[in-house]
A and B are shown apart, each in its own frame.
Chain A
Amino acid sequence: DAGITQSPRHKVTETGTPVTLRCHQTENHRYMYWYRQDPGHGLRLIHYSYGVKDTDKGEVSDGYSVSRSKTEDFLLTLESATSSQTSVYFCAISESGHSNSGANVLTFGAGSRLTVL
């Protein structure tokens, strides 16, 4: 199994509070991604990173920020959580990523279920 761990796996919080989800990998992969999964929408890309301190926005980035200070860690922060951010969040990694030179397989973490009351 690819070494990806997400923490916390479950969190309940209140509207307006900050939340940080952590993704940790031991594969030394360059690319890391945060997706959210919602019924009827499949998985939607929030942000991704293509190296330390190199990040970019995905399809649904509003209300989220990310940071990558080390190759192995990719943090997703909700500065002020809202009920619409209740979701299951998946981190993924890949050796190559957003380029036409080749798309590698995304390997996913186990997911983090966030409930915002």
Chain B
Amino acid sequence: AQKVTQAQTEISVVEKEDVTLDCVYETRDTTYYLFWYKQPPSGELVFLIRRNSFDEQNEISGRYSWNFQKSTSSFNFTITASQVVDSAVYFCALFNNDMRFGAGTRLTVKP
């Protein structure tokens, strides 16, 4: 069975704080892909990153970084020096035979 768990339903931080969004996944397969999507208040879904199961290198893109650890089946997302514009719902997703999304984490960044 495939499953994605985002245990943090809501997170609230003050601007410039660092914040980590957790994602834990379950799959029996050795080949799969992991994704993060952002859904700002306007409602559209924006692709952030894709990772395949054979590449455990961490990735950094500006203030965003991702930590993929197969040993703990986790694919966590960190925003450094958060900004108000980072306020959104963030979804982690697992693709094998189909795309399964977590329930999402609502991040609020206060000025």
- B95 → A minimal CB distance (Å): 4
Interface size on A, residues (CB 8 A): 23
Give chain B nearest CB distance to A28 CB in angstroms.
Answer: 19
Are the C-beta atoms of A42 and B101 separated by less than 8 Å?
A: yes
The contact string, 1 if C-beta is below 8 Å from chain A, for chain B 7-48, is 000000000000000000000010101010000000111010
Q: Which residues of A contact B96 (CB under 8 A)?
A: 100
| Residue A74 CB within 8 A of the other chain | no
B98 at the interface (CB under 8 A from A): yes
Given A41-B103, A43-B101, A98-B97, A103:B50 Cβ within 8 A: yes
Q: Interface of B with A (CB < 8 Å)? A: 4, 6, 29, 31, 33, 35, 43-45, 47, 50, 52, 91, 93, 95-104
- A108 on interface, CB distance cutoff 8 Å: yes
> Which residues does chain A contribute within 8 Å of B6, judged by CB atoms?
42
Residues on the A chain within 8 Å of B104, using CB: 42
Kindly identify which residue among B43, B50, B91 contacts A43, using a CB–CB cutoff of 8 Å. Answer: B91
Q: Can you report 10 A-B residue pairs in the complex whose CB atoms are below 8 A from each other?
A: A33-B99, A35-B101, A42-B101, A43-B45, A43-B101, A44-B101, A45-B100, A90-B45, A100-B97, A108-B44
* Residues of A close to B102: CB separation below 8 A: 42
Complex CA–CA separation, A100 to B6 (angstroms) = 24
Shortest CB distance A74–B (Å): 16
Chain A contacts for B4, CB-based, 8 A: 42
Task: Give the contacting residue for A42; candidates B31, B50, B103; CB below 8 A.
Answer: B103
A116 within 8 A of B: no
Contact A107 B47 (CB under 8 A): yes
- CB distance A105 to B50 under 8 Å? yes
> Which residues of chain A (43-85) have a CB below 8 Å from chain B?
43-45, 48, 58-59
Residue of A nearest to B44 (CB): A110
Whether B98 lies near A59 (C-beta < 8 A) is yes
Nearest CB in chain B to that of A88: its residue = B43
Q: Which chain A residues border B35 with CB–CB below 8 Å?
A: 105-106
